[in-house]
């Protein structure tokens, strides 16, 4: 499949700290790319560069051949690239449905956004709690509400930033199945930041590894699990053990 996203030598410094240091990669349409690395490796900063929350201080970010570097987040979202956030930010007094329809307002009026919100709540399995106040939701439910809200923007490239944090094993498995189903039915490209190695290894067909802002490895799950540089970064442990230390 042709590449939908091509990232070339992007970088971001905060004072003397190189948070993202000349990172390059590409993602094919319908791909699921994992992004891993120790805390502080630059993963979330990279995501923020891709969606315009930060501006890259060099290089290019091409979405379907268009360089989006320097565009505002809502402009990049309108072109088809959006992200979730580590800290789910819902409007607690509003219903689940009203929280989700906010995403649809990027492209539609309120009436149409409401219908799109209902459709996406159904996609993520939350139709039954559409009228429930968001402040009463469990964490797994909150994560799915944020997924539904982002789906309302009609993403082509969907960045998931630790959506499996605090989930138990069965909840994680259900979310993995949902992500695969969304990819299969809508041809959405996913880039996933996650510390749960089991989830990354099962979900992704390629994995990119960051350390101190630099890309140190890229390959299939099997190649990454056997890469000695990656193993060294993860404190000399196997990738199966690494989950407990990251």
pLDDT tens readout for residues 100-156: 999 999 999 999 999 999 999 999 999 999 999 999 999 889 989 999 999 999 999
- Of 20-34, 173-187, 229-243, the poorest mean pLDDT is in 229-243
Answer yes or no: is pLDDT of 242 > 70.
no
> Could you read off the pLDDT of 46-103 as tens digits, one per residue?
999 999 999 999 999 999 999 999 999 999 999 999 999 877 788 999 999 999 999 9
pLDDT, residue 139, reads 85
What's the confidence (pLDDT) of residue 111? 96
For residue 100, give the 3-state DSSP assignment: helix
Residue 95, CA distances (Å) to 129, 145, 190 in order? 9, 11, 27
Neighbours of 200 (CB within 10 A): 23
The 10s digit of each residue's pLDDT in 20-60 is 999 999 999 999 999 999 989 999 999 999 999 999 999 99
How sure is the predictor about 195, in pLDDT bands with cuts at 50, 70 and 90? Answer: confident
Q: Is the pTM of this model over 0.75?
A: yes
Pair 163, 147: CB distance under 8 Å? yes
Cβ atoms of 53 and 73 within 8 Å: the answer is yes
Query: What are the CA-CA distances from residue 246 to residues 41, 112, 191, 233, 242 (Å)?
Result: 11, 42, 19, 11, 6
Domains with residue ranges and CATH for the chain: 1-80+155-168+188-246 (3.40.50.300), 84-154 (1.10.8)
pLDDT of residue 178 exceeding 90: yes
pLDDT at 238 over 80: no
């Amino acid at each position: 499949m042709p590449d939908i996203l091509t990232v070339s030598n992007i970088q971001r410094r905060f004072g003397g700290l190189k948070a993202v240091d000349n990172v390059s990669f590409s993602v094919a349409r319908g791909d699921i790319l994992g992004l891993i690395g120790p805390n502080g490796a630059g993963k979330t900063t990279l995501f923020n560069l891709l969606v315009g929350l930060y501006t890259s201080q060099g290089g290019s970010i091409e979405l379907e051949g268009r360089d989006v570097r320097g565009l505002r987040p809502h402009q990049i979202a309108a072109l088809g690239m959006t992200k979730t956030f580590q800290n789910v930010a819902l409007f607690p007094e509003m219903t689940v449905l009203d929280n989700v329809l906010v995403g649809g307002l990027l492209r539609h009026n309120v009436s149409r956004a409401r219908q799109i919100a209902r459709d996406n709540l159904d996609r993520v399995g939350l139709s039954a709690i559409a009228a429930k106040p968001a402040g009463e939701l469990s964490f797994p439910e909150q994560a799915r509400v944020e997924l539904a809200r982002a789906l309302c923007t009609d993403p082509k490239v969907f960045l998931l930033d630790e959506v499996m944090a605090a989930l138990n094993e069965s909840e994680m498995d259900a979310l993995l199945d949902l992500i695969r189903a969304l990819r299969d039915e809508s041809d959405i490209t996913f880039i996933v930041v996650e510390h749960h190695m089991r989830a990354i290894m099962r979900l992704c067909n390629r994995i990119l590894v960051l350390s101190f802002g630099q890309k140190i490895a890229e390959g299939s799950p099997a190649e990454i699990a056997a890469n000695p540089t990656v193993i060294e970064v993860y404190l000399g442990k196997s990738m199966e053990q690494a989950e407990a230390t990251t």
